[in-house]
A and B are shown apart, each in its own frame.
Chain A
Amino acid sequence: MPLVFAAATNHGPGITARRDTAPPEEVTPFFEGWERLHQRMEAANLDALVMISSDHIQNLYMDNMPAFIIGLGDSFPGPTEDEHFLKIPKTIIPGVPDLAASIADEVMETIDLAYSGELALDHGFMVPLHFLTPAYDVPVIPFIVNCMFPPYPKLGRSYELGRALRRAIDKQSQRIGLLGTGGLSHWPAAPLSGKVAVDWDKDFLEAMVANRREDLTRYSDAEIERDGGPGGHEIRSWIAVAGACEGSGGKLDFYTALPSFAIGGAVVEMAVA
């Protein structure tokens, strides 16, 4: 069955860690947008959700840093972060190893993947799941893109990962959704934490909605670092979703600057027809 749902959004840990202390007028539009996304994902009646995120030094470090890695486990513990920090209780997210292996096999026709049977999920996965599949009843197939340490995978390779994922997902019989998480501009845990580059975010989102590959992939790593911050490298997750929906555009549900969560927040849902 072809891909039935595709979207991209954020995953900053402040979304849960600092929700209680953030000004409601700043963050309410974000949570209302995520509730709409939750409802649309529920309506899609997913059998599995392929998620693309970065890893935040929880599974991977500089001793062994793959560009792309898929989790083939039958379950994934998460969140890796301290419960008192992230304010998400530790749990086990179900996997679907046979489907994950089938997807990995097809993706590897064009993209060389690393794989692991023992990934744990950090806030990059758990923060969105906490709101979007709150019963944790949709099995997850996690993909991690290196957005943490250079050399990073090229933006064009993230787009190609998305194209390969689409080819692989369309070959399956299950109802599968795709969710990329990360970004947009942010300077995570750094001296500029809380800065949001609104113009940079909107420029990227405009290219995302139009799914213009040449614009989505035009940034150099130095430009991302300078204009979108170290967390801006996570646009790779969004670009992969765009790649999976090549030839189709998307719809921006909302964009809002969230200094309290130290991110530019948005949801883009892509057409999957």
Chain B
Amino acid sequence: MYDRYGADRAALFAEYKLTLEEQDYIETMNVGALFEMGVQPQLLAPFAGRENIAWPDYIKGMETPGPLRERES
């Protein structure tokens, strides 16, 4: 899956019918927003690791409210 993500991201996004918003959060590695949208954090963490995001930065990103938490607050 990760190899396909690197090779042909657009095709993978289309196959999984991701919205433009979802695609943007993945491409910008907005882990806080992806978590809010329901992505299992134990899928997110290794994905972030593969994208060379250091653990402290990952946790900081998870703690940063994305659009859903901002709307609720």
Contact = CB atoms under 8 A, between A and B. Distances in A.
Contacts of B32: 191
Contacts of A194: 59
Looking at A148, A193, A194, the one whose CB has the most chain B CB atoms below 10 A away is: A193
A57 B40 contact: yes
Nearest to A230: B41
Interface string A83-97: 011000000000000
Nearest to A194: B59
Interface string B51-69: 0000100110011000000
A189 B40 CA distance: 9
Contacts, number: 36
B45 interface: yes
26 contacts: A57-B40, A57-B42, A81-B46, A82-B46, A82-B49, A82-B50, A84-B49, A85-B46, A85-B49, A148-B42, A188-B41, A188-B42, A189-B41, A189-B42, A189-B44, A189-B45, A189-B58, A189-B62, A190-B35, A190-B41, A190-B62, A191-B35, A191-B59, A191-B63, A194-B59, A230-B41
Contacts of B42: 56-57, 148, 188-189
Given A18-B55, A193-B59, 9 more contacts: A57-B43, A81-B46, A82-B50, A85-B49, A148-B40, A189-B41, A190-B35, A191-B59, A194-B59
Given A81-B46, A82-B50, A191 B40 contact: no
What is the size category of the interface that chain A forms with chain B? 10 to 19
Contact of B62 (A18, A57, A81, A193): A193
A84 B45 CA distance: 13
A164 B46 CA distance: 35
Interface string B10-41: 00000000000000000000001001000011
Interface in A15-63: 17-18, 56-57
B3 to A, nearest CB: 13
A202 B69 CA distance: 32
A191 B49 contact: no
A117 B59 CA distance: 36
B18 to A, nearest CB: 17
A189 B50 CA distance: 15
Contacts of B50: 82
A16 to B, nearest CB: 13
B61 to A, nearest CB: 9
Would you list the 5 A-B pairs with minimal beta carbon distance, nearest first? A189-B45, A189-B41, A191-B62, A190-B41, A85-B49
Nearest to A193: B59
Nearest to A18: B55
Interface in A157-193: 188-191, 193
A32 B42 CA distance: 28
Contacts of B45: 188-189
Contacts of A82: 46, 49-50
Contacts of B63: 191
